[in-house]
């Protein structure tokens, strides 16, 4: 039990992704803020530690599903998975959600002014995510692939100090934090994606898709922050020895 208390949320989810649902239920950020220990979280958020540990243990003791063991995957496979599953999903869903939100604001915006704020946050997130994913695909992912072939890939610009892979990783994690905060605001404005009593089918579908988008983003960020990035830094440190 003491060992579990001292582990970070990111470590626990990396060991068993099913625990992510427990953290979601308690509104504990396991992706952007996955570097916090359980003890830190329960102290700050006023959650009963014993109850949280019981819920985690129940999940860990239940029969395992076919959930992939991402922690054991080689870095190149993990990169391919993130790009083909999560990056592709974001690219496909953004135009669909934009159309839904524009329509909702037009039809229901007067009765539900929060829709305009939700739409603004999502449109801002869409633009930032598009640039973010391109930076990963054009800079960070190729850098990691090069390291897999035995090259440390340190870079210099003029007389500036050498950069390490931690430099782009730090930028990516800061951008992850920004998007995590945007979706926390969207979730709050939408009452955790709960349609109002007068919601039409379009309204309900839009909120359902928004929740699905947030869930996918959490998993996407979790894989990078808690598995891909730490393993890339370890790889670079080994190459630099």
> What average pLDDT does the segment 217-227 reach?
93
231/241 Cα distance (integer angstroms): 16
Residues facing residue 163 across a β-bridge = 155
CB neighbours (10 Å) of residue 212? Answer: 14
Highest mean pLDDT among 2-6, 29-33, 179-183: 179-183
Mean pLDDT of 131-154: 88
Q: Write 96-105 long-range contacts (CB < 8 A, 24+).
A: 96/209, 97/122, 97/126, 97/206, 97/209, 97/210, 97/213, 98/122, 98/123, 98/126, 100/202, 100/205, 100/206, 100/209, 101/206, 103/202, 104/202, 104/203, 104/206
| CA distances for 103 relative to 70, 78, 98, angstroms | 38, 37, 9
Burial (CB count <10 Å: 0-12, 13-18, 19+), residue 35: middle
Indicate whether 142 pLDDT > 50.
Answer: yes
Residue 42 or residue 100, greater confidence = 100
Average pLDDT over residues 210-216: 94
Using the predicted structure, report yes or no on whether residue 158 has a pLDDT greater than 50: no
Identify the pLDDT of residue 118.
97
Q: What was the pLDDT predicted at 161? A: 46
CA-to-CA distance for 12 and 9, rounded, in angstroms?
A: 5
Q: Is the pTM of this model over 0.85?
A: no
Contact 16, 50 (CB under 8 A): no
Q: Is the pLDDT of residue 164 over 50?
A: yes
> So what's the pLDDT on residue 58?
86
Q: How far apart are CA 34 and CA 39, in angstroms?
A: 13
Bigger pLDDT: 34 or 85?
85
Is the pLDDT assigned to residue 156 strictly greater than 80?
A: no
Q: Alpha-carbon Rg of the chain, whole angstroms?
A: 20
Tell me the two tokens of residue 7: 């582990």
Using a 10 angstrom Cβ sphere, with 0-12 exposed, 13-18 middle and 19 or more buried, the burial of residue 75 is middle
Tokens 């220990």 belong to which residue?
A: 37
Return the sign of the alpha-carbon dihedral for residues 185, 191, 193, 195: negative
**CB neighbours of 33 closer than 8 A, spacing ≥ 6?**
9, 180
Burial of 172 (0-12, 13-18, 19+ CB in 10 A): buried
**What is the pLDDT of the chain when averaged over all its residues?**
88
Q: Which of 24 and 154 is assigned the larger pLDDT?
A: 24
Question: What is the pLDDT confidence band of residue 60, given thresholds at 50, 70 and 90?
Answer: confident
**pLDDT bucket at 32, cuts 50 / 70 / 90:** confident
Check pLDDT > 50 for residue 230.
yes
Question: What domains appear along the chain, each with residue ranges and CATH number?
Answer: 2-61 (1.10.3910), 70-239 (no CATH)
């Amino acid at each position: 039990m003491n060992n579990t208390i001292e582990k970070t949320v990111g470590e626990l989810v990396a060991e068993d992704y099913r625990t992510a649902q427990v953290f979601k239920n308690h509104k504990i950020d396991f992706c952007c803020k996955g570097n916090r220990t359980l003890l830190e979280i329960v102290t700050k958020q006023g959650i009963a530690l014993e109850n949280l540990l019981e819920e985690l243990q129940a999940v860990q003791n239940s029969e395992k599903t076919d959930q992939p063991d991402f922690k054991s995957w080689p870095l190149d496979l993990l990169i391919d998975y993130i790009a083909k599953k999560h990056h592709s999903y974001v690219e496909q869903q953004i135009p669909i959600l934009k159309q839904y939100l524009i329509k909702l604001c037009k039809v229901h915006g007067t009765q539900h002014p929060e829709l305009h704020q939700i739409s603004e946050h999502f449109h801002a997130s869409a633009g930032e995510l598009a640039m973010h994913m391109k930076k990963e695909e054009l800079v960070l992912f190729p850098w990691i692939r090069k390291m897999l072939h035995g090259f440390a890939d340190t870079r210099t610009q003029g007389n500036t100090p050498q950069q390490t892979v931690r430099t782009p990783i730090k930028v990516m994690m800061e951008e992850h934090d920004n998007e995590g905060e945007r979706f926390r605001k969207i979730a709050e404005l939408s009452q955790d994606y709960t349609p109002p009593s007068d919601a039409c089918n379009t309204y309900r579908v839009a909120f359902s898709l928004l929740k699905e988008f947030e869930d996918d983003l959490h998993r996407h960020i979790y894989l990078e922050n808690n598995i891909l990035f730490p393993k890339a830094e370890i790889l670079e440190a080994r190459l630099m020895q």
